[in-house]
Chains A and B, each alone.
Chain A
Amino acid sequence: MLFISSYISWHYSKAFLNIYGIFSNFLWVIYRFFSIPLLLKTFFYPWHRLDVSYAKKLDFGEYFGTFVVNTLMRLVGMIIRLIVIFIGVVCLLLAFVFEIAFLLFWFVLPLIVIWLFYTGILKML
């Protein structure tokens, strides 16, 4: 009896905090995995920092070539970063929604179990 009462009190108090804590960890790791702030900080950097140095002599053709390559590299970098940031934000949102759903589920879980036993046994009879 003591065991059941301590379980029930746990289920409706500390367990909620724990679920919140576990989901916070998941959100934290998703955030880290996508390194969203770092991607934002380096948003305009060339892809893999691959850029070509400008020639020291002034040669318009060469200068233009280098400019095009570097701009492309930056564009590539920006697009890929944008995609990653987008996926990251979506994952964060999904995890958040799932957390809310799980908390609700946990709230009614004891009732679900009782219902399952009740209906199950009724069906079998």
Chain B
Amino acid sequence: MNYTSLEKKLNKYNSAIALDQLMSSRWRDRIKNWFIDLTIVLFIWFAVSPTYTPAYTALIQGLTFVSLGISILLFCLESFYYDLYLDDLITVFPEPHFKNGDVSGSYLVAEIIKNTRAEDVIFGLSRSVSGRLLALRLDIPLVDLDTFVENKKNKINPNEFEIQTEEKNDLFESFITSIYNQDKEFKDFLFQYSVREKDLAGASRWITKQFEREKRLERWWGRDSLSKTDSVGRDWSYGKAFVLEKYAQKIEDLYDFSSHGLGHHKKEVDEIENILSRKTEANIMLVSDDDLQKIDILVELSKKILGGKSPSLQNKVMFVLNINDVIVGKKTKPEFEEEIVNMFNGAERAGNIVIVIKNLPSSLVNSNALKSDLLGLMGPYLDSSSLQIVALSDTKNFHQYIENNISVTEKFETMLMKEDTEDNLVYSLQKRTVELEQKYGVFFTYLALVAIAENVSRYFMGQIISDKALDILTELPQFVLKQKKLTITKKDVLEMVETKTGIPVGEIKEKEKEKLLNLEKILHQRVISQNEAILAIGSSLRRARSGIESANKPLGSFLFLGPTGVGKTETAKALSEVFFDSDKKIIRLDMSEYSGGDSLSRLLGSFETGKQGVLTSLLRENQYGVLLLDEFEKANGEVHNLFLQILDEGVFSDMVGKKVNARNLIIIATSNAGSSTIWDYVKESKSLADNKQKIIDEIIHEGLFKPELINRFDGVILFHPLSEADLKQVATIMLKKLAKRLEDKSLELVITDELVDYLVQKGSDPTFGARPINRAIQDNVEEIVARKLISGEAQPGSKIIISREELELTNNKNE
């Protein structure tokens, strides 16, 4: 639609907007009420005046009349105002006598258009209430907005300004996104605040919804508000289910209807409604791990029924029942069975009851413990036409107890629910901010809500997303109040997620920045030589952390190839120390143990035995760290396929289909594959880097790894055998470690060349790399020090010098 025709269409709101500009509606309302109060006081005075103040009676009568006149005038004016103001409110209940023709948000746009001066729509936006609120929700300071508007160079010509209104039922959103798409300067301005079109549209929708909500409250005489009154007839026409009411509660008494069932599960609600409307077998099982989601859907349905918008379920009342309460109350089988039968009989006779059974699988298991067949007892009622049953279950128990039970699946229609989408999540968070903002006086920005939704699904995978998101939302106000702030921004959300998970999620901080830039140097403090490997790791990780790479992958993944004892594990430890502040943050799996046929079920858990998987439980406990897979080539082909998926998507599913997060891991697979080729190249003094592809090809040729698996790694890193000079350095580092330990006992170990040479000579077997050096230190050096300590030769404060003779002597003894 063209700007000019929109302006024409919306000018009917002008009178109301003029009133708003004159004085806010809150103040007008206040003044009106003052006059009404004044009239009452004057009237009382007038009534008693002939007795007490006869001289003023006429004056008071006059004042009363004038005050009443003003009150009526103000009342009429406000009625006029509200009629226009509420005109763009879409009602849920059809009200045939009102013709609310306009799209939601029309009033807001009308205000912007009325404020538009000098043909600049942005000016109108910046001067209107909705526009300023929008800026605040997007975390844009109003000063910045005003400066931007003042210094703006180009204007959109209203004659050329087109508003795309298709497929949207929010004129405000359409209007704002149209400006965004047609005014490059505005777009660039928003870009500075990291506001994407999606965010702008979402925040605009939020503003419209917020005004809609206010309008709905003002319109107390609308059917949407009036319909909340209960009906006396309903309760008196149907029966009372006495036994059921002992254990169950009406859903409207159990859950807060203002914060549940907010209307974004229309599809699911319609489907449940259809199933429950059947003549018989009108039962449904909702399967989801997210309790909130299930309740939300049922509350939404319940609201629909209460509002009279579901003719086939008219007058139905939902009762939420926990059968386990009956089991606890009635301890023996006959008592329990009698109670259940009475309960269902009563509910059936009442004629308007839908029973919601919480956690059906656990009820089945527990009733089995009483040797009672709950399903058998319920059987006749499941076919009944006057009783509907909704059973709830989580996915794990559904797969374990329900899925294979034909008698259940026959009677219940199963509905496996998907996780809420991010947009839905943002929407339901929005609804809940109202209460928090009022309670704490804080202000949520839209970007903060988006950050919650995004980060929760990334860092709390496997947990119930909407629950977790709501937790964070509820804790945020206090979190920012402690910092003496009132506005909740994206940064606060990231900080909060960081404190909760210990994972640095926010923008790269100073400390980490330094680490990332100097990664090679830091790694070299622990890892000797291996320049090529360390360079490759450094650049891969910098790429990953700068956000260039997809967020839906592990933090980094490497295949370390090379002989034993050349620093592969040490590099993994060093990475763990750099990124996770501790070399203990390593989850280590020896993959040679997973070469058998049962490997996959050992890693992921087994459905039949109910045993947890090694990998799944390790990752659930520490989802943040280095996952080190030793001797990766020895793992079973199925295990390789599993990692194909993990490296690609960063998530995998356990035995019951629950997701496990691997996106916060650095995955390092080590392998000796290709060692002999590497040896050959090194012996011939050929560069490993130049021949990398040849080495990889050979490994593929040998059938150790599939090419697609190798390609999934962020980097294949070749470790070359250590030279004598390297080994010397390794020996020195190891000795320094020992010296450090001795220092705590006030002993000084003198590291002599003689000692280092001896160790290097011991570790000169190329097939074992530096590993024998470590053993020689343990077997010989530590042994000598221990002996010196016990014999009293070494006293606290003294120096320990170890000679070659001593070493050889101990060595001979050991052998």
Q: Which residues of A contact B (CB under 8 A)?
A: 3, 6-7, 10-11, 14-15, 17-18, 20-22, 24-26, 28-29, 32-36, 38-39, 41-42, 45, 47-50, 77, 80-81, 84, 109, 112-113, 116-117, 119-125
Cβ-defined contact, A14 with B83, below 8 A: yes
Known contacts A29-B223, A33-B231: A122-B62 contact under CB 8 Å: yes
Known contacts A17-B97, A124-B58: A84-B233 contact under CB 8 Å: yes
**Chain B residues, Cβ within 8 Å of A42:** 237-238
Cβ-defined contact, A39 with B237, below 8 A: yes
Cβ-defined contact, B65 with A80, below 8 A: no
Cβ-defined contact, A32 with B308, below 8 A: yes
Cβ-defined contact, A32 with B239, below 8 A: no
Cα distance A109–B230 in the bound complex, in angstroms: 35
Which one of B67-75, B119-127, B361-369 is at the A interface? B67-75
Known contacts A7-B15, A39-B237: A26-B77 contact under CB 8 Å: no
Label chain B's interface by main secondary structure: helix
**Chain B residues, Cβ within 8 Å of A49:** 238-240, 349-351
Cβ-defined contact, A84 with B232, below 8 A: yes
Cβ-defined contact, B239 with A48, below 8 A: yes
**Chain A residues, Cβ within 8 Å of B240:** 48-50
Known contacts A15-B79, A24-B97: A48-B236 contact under CB 8 Å: yes
Cα distance A99–B66 in the bound complex, in angstroms: 26
Q: Shortest distance in angstroms between A121's beta carbon and chain B's nearest beta carbon?
A: 6
Cβ-defined contact, B227 with A29, below 8 A: yes
Cβ-defined contact, A28 with B15, below 8 A: no
Known contacts A28-B226, A49-B349, A122-B62: A117-B233 contact under CB 8 Å: no
**Chain B residues, Cβ within 8 Å of A48:** 236, 238-240
Most buried by B among A6, A18, A123: A123
Which chain A residue shows the least CB distance to B68? A116
Q: Shortest distance in angstroms between A3's beta carbon and chain B's nearest beta carbon?
A: 6
Q: Which residues of B contact A (CB under 8 A)?
A: 15, 18, 58-59, 61-66, 68-69, 72-73, 76-77, 79-80, 83, 95-98, 221-223, 226-227, 229-234, 236-240, 308, 315, 349-351
Cβ-defined contact, B80 with A10, below 8 A: yes
Cβ-defined contact, B232 with A7, below 8 A: no
Cβ-defined contact, A32 with B80, below 8 A: no
Which chain A residue shows the least CB distance to B350? A49
Most buried by A among B68, B233, B234, B236: B233
Q: Which of B64, B79, B239 contacts A50 (CB 8 A)?
A: B239
**Chain A residues, Cβ within 8 Å of B66:** 116-117, 120-121, 124
Cβ-defined contact, B229 with A29, below 8 A: yes
Cβ-defined contact, A26 with B226, below 8 A: yes
**Chain B residues, Cβ within 8 Å of A39:** 233, 236-237
Cβ-defined contact, B62 with A123, below 8 A: yes
Cα distance A18–B65 in the bound complex, in angstroms: 27
Cβ-defined contact, B76 with A11, below 8 A: yes
Cβ-defined contact, B98 with A45, below 8 A: no
**Chain A residues, Cβ within 8 Å of B18:** 3
Known contacts A113-B72, A123-B58, A124-B59: A33-B65 contact under CB 8 Å: no
Cβ-defined contact, B65 with A35, below 8 A: no
Known contacts A3-B15, A7-B15: A33-B97 contact under CB 8 Å: no
